[in-house]
Amino acid sequence: MRLLIVDDSALMRRQLAKCFESEPDIEVALARDGEDALLKMREFQPDAITLDINMPKMDGLTCLAHIMEERPCPVIMVSSLTEKGAMATFEALELGAVDFIAKPDGTVSLSIDLVFDELRAKVRGVVNPSRRRTERPRVAPRASVRERVTERLASSRPAAARPSRRIVVQQSGDCDLVLIGSSTGGPGTLGAILEALPADFPAPILVAQHMPPRFTRTYSQRLQETCDIRIEEVDRPTPLEAGTVYIACGGMDVAVTHQLRRIVARPVDPDPDRIWHPSVAHMVQTATSVLDPKRLIGVMLTGMGDDGAREMAQIHVEGGRTIAESEETAVVFGMPQQLIEQGGASLVLPFNKVAAQLLRWVGTQTAERTAACR
């Protein structure tokens, strides 16, 4: 596979290239800014690109817009761990980037080697060998971006008996909680799903999206700009209410508990035995310990690895309902594929059909009203 690394710092280019020195099947080319990247892209025909955001002549966002218009391919942004870096990163994701890597300590990071394993995994994850050098479908950008950049620019086993500590929560319909897990490629996919849900969706939604600290607050704020349903970051113990999406705090895990007969989500220290955070497995496992799986809905979206697949499959086994994103739209098919292979998917759907299915499953007037408008 061919990888184009774009960064205005010669030191960073050398360091990022070093990350792939031990990968004999990855050929690397380097570009010093956005203008150079577009020239190299035409000559080198990369399968994937890592792209810095802050560069002279042509910045990363402008370069990304041209890439998405001229020759769409998987782009991973290399971002700084700051609020400004987070805002630019999510603008990049809205423009068509599939994921990002956060530099540990600033624009020129002397400890970039700390994320080498993650970077190699993400580069390999976003390039499907069967789809190389093709313009495969990407997550649709939001309407405001579509106008600027062409279409981008301009049956389960009987349920086991559950402990009596579980509670029954009086939500409308027959669902107490929707649990969504996602990783690589997830921010754009999740945004498209949530934008299709109404403000009065009759159950709470809890999301574990693999993301570093300080990014989930900005992500939640940007989602709220385009979603009718309410969006909130779980940065403290939070009672879960219908009509709200709760985004687990970046770099932490999230646990579902109950207090005074209410469902509560609270951030907890990340489990050192788990690789990715917020952990989908921890979220689902704690939810099924206090709620009846028959009244849970699990959704597994794009992402590497198998985080939460076993736990979400158990929801299906015990009578709950689950959705796995299909390979045709998943940026990385790993997590949904694991759910499917474990026999844990009630349905396999492209991401753009997930919202409609959730509305059918909640079985309320909201769903009927929304369906009538489609």
Q: Which residues are designated catalytic?
A: 183, 210, 307
In order of 116, 227, 360, 368, the CA distances from 372 in angstroms are 49, 20, 12, 6
The dihedral through the CA atoms of 311, 317, 319, 325 has a sign that is: positive
Q: How many CB atoms lie within 10 A of CB 270?
A: 16
DSSP assignments along 118-165, one per residue? HHHHHHHHH--GGGTTS----PPPPHHHHTTBTTTB--PPPPPP--TT
Tokens standing for 35?
Answer: 């203008």
Position 20, amino acid: F
* Rounded Cα gap, residues 97 and 92, in angstroms: 6
* Tokens found for residue 53: 């955001």
Q: Beta-strand (E) ranges in 140-249?
A: 177-182, 205-209, 230-234, 238-239, 244-248
* Residue 166: Cβ within 10 Å count: 15
Minimal CA–CA distance to 122: which of 200, 35, 186? 186
238-239 and 262-268 as β-strands: parallel, antiparallel, unpaired?
antiparallel
Find out whether 50 and 29 touch, Cβ atoms under 8 Å: no
Return the closest-CA partner of residue 157 out of 323, 344, 340, 317. Answer: 317
CA contacts within 13 A on the Cβ side of 321: 15
**How many other C-beta atoms can be found within 10 angstroms of the C-beta atom of residue 322?**
26
Q: How far apart are CA 309 and CA 299, in angstroms?
A: 10
Q: At what angle do helices 83-95 and 60-70 cross, to 10 degrees?
A: 10
Half-sphere exposure of 238 (CA within 13 A, CB side): 24
